[in-house]
Chains A and B, each alone.
Chain A
Amino acid sequence: MPVRGVRRRYIGFRVDADTKLAGEEIFEAIHSKALELYGVKGASAASLSVISYDGDEDRGVIRCSHESLRRTRAALAMISIISGSSAAIRVDRVSGTLKGLRLKTAKQEPGDIY
């Protein structure tokens, strides 16, 4: 059976900010913070990519490599300002597949954070 080379993690997050922010601004902030904390090599190893962002609900999904999950979480946690506004990015759920992430998010209850 073929095995995928890189294991991935899908991170479902929500943004808490003073003002409404666009998806591009949020992803730019995530990439910049990953670069600032871990450098080009670390950011490249994380293989960060944008999956989706819902501006109405301030929720989104990014993907990273399985081995860089903790570093990606750290980069998200260290963000405090996006485009001049105070903001926080909070991880709701983490899963190995997008389908799994959606199922977990649908079942999620308050205080039930991965």
Chain B
Amino acid sequence: MREFADLRVRKPADPAEFERMILTAKELGYRHLGVVFNGDRVTDENSLGMDVISRVELSPTSPGDLLSSLRRVRDRFEVVAVDCSSKAVARQAAKDHRVDILMFPGDLSEKKAIGLDEQEATLAAGIGCSFEISAVELIRAGSARMAKLITRLKKETTSARRHDIPIIVSSGAASTIELREPRALSAILDLLDVEEEAALDMVSINPLNVVERNREKLKPGHTEPGVRRL
């Protein structure tokens, strides 16, 4: 039986709402929840039986900024995602093995919006970086914006799949009401012409592979994949 993971949930300020989110996610069938901690990671989180995965999202303004942020956070969080706001940042993120997930801004106002193109896809494929789609951006969008977003995401998913880059679909929820069940998230990918089985992998196998790989890296004595200092 599949184990589902929602790798991107934004922690609300109200602890009671956060507790409700965890309970709802559990009820919806998730066993793993990636929570965005943008400050220091809180270790004594009341996880209510849910596997809470610590995630940080970096929004660097330049490649140098990205490198210094990565040095600061890499060994403190289980998942590191980078919001690629410029071409230069996207290129740097796609070739740095410390980056787990590439995200692209949902801002479509610019004529040439930043997205996962062939060059980044080639670089990301070389280091095993994943590409993430946040369902909340589609859900919140009005018809016109949604149509544009679907066009862009279709291009990106095609690029990612051509280069065997794992795609992750997460809710991006900031409240209980924005959470969606795993099969709903995978059904949304019907809009991007992704087949059902592949879409289900994007909410189960693909995110769990990222978490498993990073938990292994964070264990004491890890030097590189397959090598441990005893």
Contacts and interface: CB of A to CB of B under 8 A. Distances in A.
Given A36-B143, A90-B28, A110-B27, A78 B177 contact: no
B63 interface: no
Contacts of A113: 27-29, 181-183
A77 B139 contact: yes
A74 B181 contact: no
B71 interface: no
Contacts, number: 63
A90 B181 contact: yes
Chain B facing A: main interface SS = helix
Chain A facing B: main interface SS = mixed
Contacts of A78: 138-139, 188
Contacts of A76: 184
Given A78-B139, A80-B140, A91 B191 contact: no
Contact of A77 (B26, B27, B143, B184): B184
B75 interface: no
Interface of A: 16-18, 36-37, 70-71, 73-74, 76-78, 80, 86-88, 90-91, 110-114
Interface of B: 24, 26-29, 135, 138-140, 143, 176-185, 187-188, 190-191, 196
